[in-house]
Amino acid sequence: MSTSNNTVSSAKNIWPKLITFSFILLVIVIAVSLLPRGFSQDLSVIGQGTNAVVLVHDGNILQSTDTMIAMNAVRDDFEEHVAFIVADINTPEGKRFADSRGFGPAALVFFAANGDQLQVLYSEQTSESLRRHLNTIFDYNY
């Protein structure tokens, strides 16, 4: 009789653990889904039919990080029409891109769909100023 009570007691003890585990798993899934999306580093899309904005990023420069935050803030409104790309100057590809075109860290470069360089900005961007530049340079109204 005591063996049957132990089996029932063990079955009852597993439910709180299972519920706790499920709750923790749910919280992790929600937290991961809320993380910001990364930016593409694929520089080959420049000149392939989509307007592009490239940030020559250096994580050691606050201006570069602030501009990346501004890019993230406006990305949802423009991503159907503009490729947002980060060329990290601390990677071989990013450094090669910046050096070959003469861009310094924190440069924000606007490219037409055909690959023509339209404008380069070195000033710190806020989401409002970046939105204004995107609308003006690419003739949008967002």
Please tell me the predicted confidence (pLDDT) of residue 86.
Answer: 94
User: 2 vs 13, 15, 43, CA distance in Å?
Assistant: 16, 21, 70
Residue 23's pLDDT is 87
Q: List the single range of 10-14, 49-53, 89-93, 122-126 with lowest mean pLDDT.
A: 10-14
**Residue 92, pLDDT score:** 94
3.30.1360.200, 1.10.10.1100, 3.40.30.10, 3.40.50.1100: CATH of 43-137: 3.40.30.10
DSSP type of residue 40? B
The residue extents of the domains of the chain are: 1-35, 43-137
Q: Which pTM does this prediction carry?
A: 0.73
In sequence order, the 6+-apart residues with CB closer than 8 A to the CB of 39 are 55, 68, 71, 72, 84, 85, 86
CA distances for 3 relative to 11, 13, 14, 38, angstroms: 13, 15, 17, 56
